[in-house]
Each structure stands twice: as C-alpha cells, then as structure tokens.
Amino acid sequence: MYFAALLARTEDGWEASDTELDDVETLSDLADLAREASPDEDTVLVLIEQEDAWFGVVRVDGEEDPRIYVSDAAAAARSSYGEILLTDELLGREPGDDGDDLDALDLDGTEDGESDDEDGGDGSGAAAGSAEAVPHGPVGDAEILDDLGMSEKELRSMSGDAVGEIAESLGALDVLEAVR
C-alpha cells in the first residue's frame, strides 16, 4: 500500500494535500504536479511511502530541476511509483542504458542458442543481472532536507513511518495527519 502527499512551504507554514499518482508516468509529470500545488513557486515536497519497504522525497523549488532521495533503490525499483523516481541520472547510468533489461526477457535462455544450464535453469541469472543495475540502499540527494531542518544522517536513519518522521521534523506533522 502506498501513501503519497504534497507538502508546500508557504509564508504561513506548511500546507499538505494527499495526492493520487495514478496519472503520473514520469518524473516530469510528478514535478508538474508539485508545481501546481504552489502557485508562488515555493518549495514543495512530494513524499511517497510504500509501507515499510521504501520511501522517497522529491523536492521541487520553483522551476529548478527536482531533487530526489530514495531510501532503498532496489525496493523502489519493484514499484511502479519507485520506477518514476529512479532516473538514469539518479542511478549513475547513461540515458538509454537499458540493454540489460532486454536480457531479462530471456526467460529460458534458449533464444540465442544458449543452454538453460548457464543460469541454473530457474531464470535467476537474468533476474540477478538486472538487479545489479539498481543498488540496494539509499540513492539520491541525502542533503535534500538540510536547509529545512533535517540532516542527512537523520534522513538516512529513517525507518517505520518515515513520512511521518520527516513531517514531524519539518514541523508539518499536524497538516500531514489531516490529509492522511
């Protein structure tokens, strides 16, 4: 189960709204959604959490490129919402460097004349190859919330209700809970 919320920083403090990500297909779509939440080009945080598996923070400051932090890239890669956040740039890959994904479609290893003994016959060889492309653990800008009062160390040590902990640290827990 997912929870996604927008926190917009205004002159009067934080404003929160829950959001549906069903129509969001790209990071650009997500950034546009965040910008719509703040007509004054204030800071907007998109907080996404999949139960206790992973969380992500996307920070949009006006028209600047979004900044992203994902707590566990490998867990997020198994999620349609996580895939939106895991850009080539964030993962340190060249754009379009998806050649390994085609190999992952080789379910029985015989399409290229290979025997299926090479990967143990269970297909795990292809899956392991594609999993190496996404690191386990955090990726992105761990200093994304430094100027808002949450250090890199605090962000990296999050567990459990990370979205709630982030909101509490920013002084926005009450407004977040109102939309939860």
How far is Cα 126 from Cα 104, in angstroms, rounded to an integer? Answer: 5
Asked whether residue 73 carries a pLDDT value surpassing 90, the answer given is yes
Using CA atoms, how far residue 180 sits from 4, 18, 99, in Å, is 9, 7, 40
Q: What is the pLDDT of residue 94?
A: 78
The residue assigned the tokens 């990296």 is 156
137-150: pLDDT as tens digits: 999 999 999 999 99
Q: In the numeric block, which tokens belong to residue 139?
A: 């990726």
Taking residues 26-52, report their average pLDDT.
Answer: 92
Q: What is the pLDDT of residue 86?
A: 95
φ, ψ of residue 54 to 5 degrees: the values are: -165, 165
Taking residues 58-76, report their average pLDDT.
Answer: 95
CA-angle at 80, arms to 74 and 133, nearest 5°: 30
Q: In the numeric block, which tokens belong to residue 107?
A: 């379910």
Q: What is the mean pLDDT of the chain?
A: 83
For the chain, what's the residue count?
Answer: 180
Residue 57's SS3 state is strand
Q: What is the pLDDT of residue 115?
A: 45
Q: Of residues 133 and 8, which shows the higher confidence score?
A: 8
What's the pTM value of the predicted model, to 2 decimals?
0.79
Neighbouring-strand partners of residue 6: 17, 46
Point out the least confidently predicted range of 14-28, 62-76, 100-114, 160-174.
100-114
Q: Of residues 110 and 168, which shows the higher confidence score?
A: 168
